[in-house]
Amino acid sequence: SQPEPCTVVIFGATGDLTHRKLVPALYNLAVDGELPTGVKIIGFARREKSDAEFRTGLEELNRKVSRSGHDDKIWAPFAENIHYHTSEFTDADGYKRLAERLDAIDRERGGKGNRLFYIASAPEFFDDILISLKNAGLNQAAEGCWARVIVEKPFGTDLATAKHLNQVVNETFHESDTYRIDHYLGKETAQNIMVLRFANSIFEPLWNSRFISHVQITCAENLGMEGGRGGYYDKAGALRDMVQNHLLQLLSLVAMEPPTDLSADGVRDEKVKVIRSLRQWDTPEKVAANVIRAQYLAGHIDGTPVPGYREEDRVDPESMTEAYIALRLKIDTWRWSGVPFYIRMGKRLPKKTTEISVHFKDAPCVLFNALPGGVPGGNVLVIRIQPDEGISLRMVSKLPGTSLRLEPVKMDFHYATSFGKGSPEAYERLLLDCMAGDATLFARRDEVEEAWKFIDNIENAWHKSTTPPPMATFTAGSWGPKEADNLLQEDGFSWRRL
């Protein structure tokens, strides 16, 4: 179905996400002519502000971050549809005024009262906002219209809080109108994983424990705790901030069985099975053996000195929060029996890059073993999620010349050169999907809860046991602690050099 005109109400409109991601995404949809006509945006937040002030602030950021640049001719009419609504998140009167405003907009638009509530406030207000929407009757749509809600991360901080939030959401909106956003699912290359696997007949027959030795997922960032992020991050940590959501979602796309169809539930039914099949690291011993947590020490990024994690702004000097994590995962299914999956994620690594690499078992090397230099590694399929989106396949080839020598070579596909145009930002796709009523790329209730179950076991071992596994360290700007290297070496592997 097609995206439909609607009013987008953004809660937490003065925040970073609204300025850096949401409004630029809507603007770029307008640039590409993909934004349905008649879309209005209302920013809902506590601070007093006029429409003009709100628009000026948004414009400033859009100029900086918009992927297609900033064109006044497109911005001006786009910005006319942006308004600001001042209210406390719990003030019933504020929601009543909002309802009146929405009705007025609907009348102006002439009919269709579709509403998209985007909850991007600080997480402690999620409940209040949902309940207030319900009390104001805004969770109900008029005949023939819809009212949908997008809930930002973090979706809870553990299983209990996620369950509670799910309950509040489900008491307010129907599950089919609930969109739990995970922007990694909106990344072009993440969407391509299913296509790569299920539209190419050469990969899927090999996609199992008979042919794959192991899989690595790396998500490296060079940023630290800039811009006051330490306050949030020190309470979350890498496991909750990135693994519970983004990285387990990527994992489920790589490891899922083929869905029976492309419907939202068809796909999510298969993804959740992967998360449910994760072997649980549910004792301090298992966590110590399979999970490495670490903090960075002062070091250099691109030649610039940077502080250690515990010296960062708004981070507890005695913090026991991980800014790096490496895990060995086991998926207990028929397909993946015996195949380890490794995930690593860290702040202050040498560069920003996310990739998935699928390492195939070596060919029987009887023929070439005796050659000088032997056989240089085997086949690796790399899915580059970002930047330089693309896919490469590593093969072994004969080195040209009169003698027989083997060398690895790479077959490489870059989105930028193959398609000649940049990919839309994840938020563009996801906002459009929500306007079209397609929840395929959003997390379902059970996925979120199964993921938390797995995460909680590890958090408990770290923070609630009497024998907590240690915190490793590494120098900022290096590729993580040696303990994480050992994790793979124990199995005869090593992290891909990036």
Indicate the residue among 23 and 136 with the shorter CB distance to ligand BG6.
23
Give phi and psi for 313, each to the nearest 5.
-55, 130
Binding-site residue ranges: 46, 88-89, 153, 183, 187, 221, 241, 347, 352
Q: How far apart are CA 3 and CA 378, in angstroms?
A: 45
Taking alpha carbons only, the member of 195, 115, 122 closest to residue 152 is: 122
> Of residues 174, 246, 359, 463, which has the active-site annotation?
246
Output the known binding site for NADP(+).
46, 88-89, 153
Compute CA 172 distance to the chain's CA centroid, rounded to the nearest angstrom. 25
- Smallest CA-to-CA distance from 155 within 179, 132, 123, 128 is with 123
What the block records as the tokens of 33 is 């002519």
Q: Give the residue ranges of the annotated binding site for substrate.
A: 183, 187, 221, 241, 347, 352
Of residues 105 and 441, the one with the C-beta less far from ligand BG6 = 441
Q: Which one-letter amino acid corresponds to residue 344?
A: R
Give the span between the Cα atoms of 381 and 369, in whole angstroms. Answer: 23
**Nearest C-alpha neighbor of 323 from the set 307, 338, 336:** 307
Subset of residues 119 to 158 that bind ligand BG6, contact rule: CB under 6 A: 153
Q: Which is nearer to ligand BG6, 8 or 242 (CB)?
A: 242
Local structure of residue 152 (DSSP, 8 states): P
CB of 398 to ligand BG6, least distance (A): 39
Q: Whose CA is closest to 26, among 43, 51, 44? A: 43
Place of tokens 């307010």: 172
Instruction: Select 221 or 446, whichever has its Cβ closest to ligand BG6.
Output: 221
Q: Which is nearer to ligand BG6, 229 or 273 (CB)?
A: 229
Task: State the minimum distance, in angstroms, from the CB of residue 426 to ligand BG6.
Answer: 7
142, 49, 48: which is closest to 102 by C-alpha?
142
> To the nearest whole angstrom, how small is the minimum distance from the Cβ of residue 362 to ligand BG6?
33
Cis peptide before 387 (omega within 30 of 0): yes
Q: List C-alpha distances in Å: 103 to 45, 83, 100, 109, 174.
A: 19, 14, 5, 10, 22
Q: Does position 459 bind ligand BG6 by CB under 6 A? A: no
- CB closer to ligand BG6, 83 vs 153: 153
Q: How far is the CB of 10 from ligand BG6 (least distance, A)?
A: 17
Site for ligand BG6 in 240-279 (CB under 6 A): 241-242
Question: How far apart (Å, rounded) are the C-alpha atoms in residues 414 and 420?
Answer: 9
CB of 393 to ligand BG6, least distance (A): 24
Read off the tokens for 196: 């790569």
In 3D space, the residue among 209, 184, 229 whose CA is nearest the CA of residue 339 turns out to be 209
| Residue 275 to residue 247: CA distance in whole angstroms | 11
Parallel/antiparallel/unpaired status of strands 291-297 and 147-151: unpaired
Residue 314 contacts residue 291 (beta carbons within 8 Å): no
Q: Smallest distance, Å, CB 278 to ligand BG6?
A: 21
Which residue number has the CB closest to ligand BG6? 241
Q: Where are the alpha helices (DSSP H) in 88-209?
A: 92-109, 126-135, 159-172, 188-198
Q: How far apart are the first and last CA of the chain?
A: 40
Indicate the residue among 431 and 488 with the shorter CB distance to ligand BG6: 431
221 lines the binding site for ligand BG6 (CB under 6 A): yes
The yes-or-no answer on residue 214 being catalytic is no
x/- map, 153-182, ligand BG6, by CB under 6 A:
x-----------------------------
Residues 41 and 10: beta-carbon distance below 8 Å: yes
Residues near ligand BG6 (CB under 6 A), total: 5
Shortest CB 245 distance to ligand BG6, Å: 7
Under the rule (CB under 6 A), what is the footprint of ligand BG6?
Answer: 153, 183, 221, 241-242
Residues known to be catalytic: 246
